[in-house]
Amino acid sequence: MSDLKKERNAFFDELVENGLFIPTGVAGFYGRGGAFEDVVRQFGLLVGQYSESDGAERIFFPPLVQKTTLERAGYMETMPHLCGVVHSFSGDEGEHKKLLSAIKEGEDWSGFLEATDLALTPAACYPLYPTASGTLKEGGRLVDLDAGYVFRREPSEDPARLQMFRQREMVRMGPPELVQEWRGVWMERGESVLRSLGLDVVVEVASDPFFGRGGRMLSASQKQQELKFEMQVPIVSREHPTAVTSFNYHTSHFGETFGILSNDGEYAHTACLGFGVERIALALFRRHGMQPTRWPSSVRTLLWP
């Protein structure tokens, strides 16, 4: 067993022993204890102070998105391996009997279900774009998507890599200069917030986990254009830090796809930042210990003012 795997296993066991993670038998899918959720909630309140002062709209979506949205956005071309679609039973009584028989015999019964028009949301911003079509007001639009759950099908024994997790995501729409300026401000602000919580931060140019040979070309282009930055902090290992925050500039992709226009009539540019709130909570427990009541006073004052 590698040293990294030993560190992951030991950290996971510690989370379970302290009631922070509750195993379900499925990798990357765990219940969370009250102390863990308290840290998540307080971090959300901390970030919310900044978005409120910026005048951001707060919007909440369920963790679902129309399949057509993923199709239009190109998600199925670039990241089909992460997608999850909602299926439902729509057969008659005869089909129902066959389904129950398959369950009784221990057989796979998923073939009796049909895909619906909904998918699990892979990024908190996806449900927003179709609702934003039209012409933006002068100065564009700023939206705070408050810790929506997202799903990505990548089961892992790494406690920091979950299949369903929350993103506190903010989206800026408007002319390119305003969108890029906003992303720059939040990159400085995000690093400052994480460092103020006692976390060691490394900022890296990054790329999304695109699929296949074409995906490797997209990743290279994304890095070359510096369209995506990540902030990484130690969670399971100091030598292998984990991305906890990302800053993405989409240029006019979503503006063109969903008909979002700046008030000058040009397609709006968009950018988003996403805080992986579970990962940030894990980093805090890893850094400061499993008992938040014993964390440094400077950290506690920020999270529990």
pLDDT of residue 213: 84
Higher per-residue pLDDT: 117 or 146: 117
What would the 3-class secondary structure string for the chain be?
CCHHHHHHHHHHHHHHHCCCEEEEEECCEEEECHHHHHHHHHHHHHHHHHHHHCCCEEECCCCEEEHHHHHHHCHHHHCHHHCCEEEEECCCHHHHHHHHHHHHCCCCCHHHEEEEEEEECCCCCCCHHHHCCEECCCCCEEEEEEEEEEECCCCCCCCCCCCEEEEEEEEEEECHHHHHHHHHHHHHHHHHHHHHCCCCCEEEECCCCCCHHHHHHHHHHHHHCCCEEEEEECCCCCCCCEEEEEEEEEECHHHHHHCEECCCCCECEEEEEEEEHHHHHHHHHHHHCCCHHHCCHHHHHHHCC
Quick one: pLDDT band at residue 233, thresholds 50, 70, 90? very high
What integer best gives the mean pLDDT of the chain? Answer: 96
Q: Is the pLDDT of residue 31 over 90?
A: yes
User: What pTM was estimated for this model as a whole?
Assistant: 0.95
pLDDT band at 1 (very low <50, low <70, confident <90, very high): confident
pLDDT for the residue 61: 95
By CB atoms closer than 10 A (0-12, 13-18, 19+), residue 88 is exposed
How high is the pLDDT of residue 301?
A: 97
| 2 confidence band (pLDDT: 50, 70, 90) | confident
Domain with CATH 3.30.930.10 in the chain: 3-84+122-303
pLDDT value of residue 148? 81
Q: pLDDT value at position 212?
A: 87
**103-139 pLDDT per residue, tens:** 999 999 999 999 999 999 999 999 999 999 999 999 9
Q: Does the pLDDT of residue 299 top 90, yes or no?
A: yes
Find the mean pLDDT for residues 173-201. Answer: 97
- What per-residue confidence (pLDDT) applies to 43? 97
Band (pLDDT 50/70/90 cuts) for residue 178 is very high
What is the average per-residue pLDDT within 38-67?
A: 96
- Check pLDDT > 90 for residue 153: yes
User: pLDDT band at residue 214, thresholds of 50, 70 and 90?
Assistant: confident
Which CATH class, in words, describes the domain spanning 3-84+122-303? alpha beta
Question: Span 271-298, mean pLDDT?
Answer: 97
